[in-house]
Amino acid sequence: MSEKTRNTPTFILFSAIGGFILAFILYYFLQNNTPQQISPTTVSVTDSNKHFNPFDSSAGQIISFAPAVNQAAPAVVNIFTRKRVRNFQQAYIKAPLGALMDKPLPPSQYREENNLGSGVIVSSQGHILTNNHVISDAQDIEVLLKDGRYMRAAIVGRDLETDLALLKVTAEHLPIIQFGDSSKVQVGDIVLAIGNPFGLGNTVTSGIISALNRSQFRANSFDNFIQTDAAINPGNSGGALVNTQGEMIGLNTINISNSGGSQGIGFAIPSSLVQDIMYQLITFGEVHRGWIGIEAREISPMLAQQLNSESTQGLLIIGVLQNGPSQKAGILAGDIITHINNIKITSAKNALKLITNLRPGDIAILRGMRRNQSLQFKVIAEERPQMSGS
């Protein structure tokens, strides 16, 4: 092999290395000195200090509840009441046993009892809605507005069956709550509870709607509560439950707790019911409800089978008040009522609402069955007897 042939691979190797180095130098030079045309859409600038916020308004979500609070909170007031309560225990402690046995009890001693709650301004004329249990038996009722104004309030009317009461103050430039449509709320909606817990003053708590149409926690036939886990503590009664637009969709009324504090189970009266009662109290000073004088039981499929009835929904009449509207119309115990004014009865609560929505003197057409024979009755509604109590 010649010397020239032996050196050929070495020459080729060095040539390749030199070419690679030259190409790298040219590429580097061109990249740093040639203007580049880059479309702005291909470049994204990231701020290392900015993190994604799931409540960012740019993503169409709520970044703060402050606007809702600013709209609703001025219309929520603190209510303070005073009443005199008989203190029988004090008389027994002071009187000797012999005196109690031989003589009448001495005059009862009294003590002053203070109570607190919340209310919501609902009209420019000074009407304030609250719970009846907040102002029950009160001799003095005073209201503190969020703007610091302090004034006395008078009772316009109350409704024991829904635990609602309407007060009135004399003042100008009052903030008014905006009502929302409680029929459109859904489980999972965000809500805010505004009130006066423990006398602390205007306070906001947040949560969601936990359930709808709750009625089994109190013996009141008209209960149709919105359940929420927004904290409702003593003093919140009568305050507003509002949506994220600051509209009142319920009036806070009770909570369920072993300790007396909030445990995430609170209840509000739906705004649709609140408004109906409010208008009646403003107009009449009381609530008028229809009544037809029956005692009834809701029909279930099992009960229908036991009765050998063709109807699986409606009311089984188990009692008719003597000389009451239903007896006068010819209704008997054992009859089944399936429709009221052509509206089908789907539950006892549904039937109660249909009846109580009648006004005294209204004529109601009841359709039903007696021993599987179709019947129709014309009932003239009367005034529903008032509940006893304060």
Concerning whether 339 is annotated as a catalytic residue, the answer is no
Strand 150-152 to 140-144 pairing: antiparallel
Distance CA 257, CA 17 (A): 84
Concerning whether 48 is annotated as a catalytic residue, the answer is no
- With H, G, I as helix, E, B as strand and everything else as coil, classify residue 280: helix
Catalytic residue among 182, 210, 237, 309: 237
DSSP 8-class letter at 45: -
Residue 318: closest CA among 303, 336, 307, 333: 333
- Mind giving me the DSSP string for 351-387? HHHHHHTSPTT-EEEEEEEETTEEEEEEEE-EEPPPP
Per 3-state DSSP, the chain is made up of helix, strand and coil in percentages (nearest 5) of 25, 35, 40
Residue 69: closest CA among 213, 295, 239, 309: 239
The torsion region of residue 60 among left (phi > 0), alpha (psi -120 to 50) and beta comes to left
Distance CA 105, CA 95 (A): 8
Catalytic residue among 118, 127, 133, 262: 133
CB 158 within 8 A of CB 85: no
DSSP 8-class letter at 177: P
- With H, G, I as helix, E, B as strand and everything else as coil, classify residue 17: helix
State how far the alpha carbon of 79 is from the alpha carbons of 120, 125, 161, 204, in Å: 10, 18, 21, 16
Scan for tokens 């609070």, then name that residue.
Answer: 69
Q: Output the six-digit token pair for 285.
A: 């000073």
Element spanning 5, H or E:
helix 3-33
CB 309 within 8 A of CB 299: yes
The residues with which 166 forms a beta bridge, in sequence order, are 129, 157
Strand 266-270 to 247-255 pairing: antiparallel
Catalytic residue among 163, 223, 229, 335: 163
DSSP 8-class letter at 156: E
Concerning whether 163 is annotated as a catalytic residue, the answer is yes
Distance CA 263, CA 232 (A): 8
Residues annotated as catalytic are 133, 163, 237
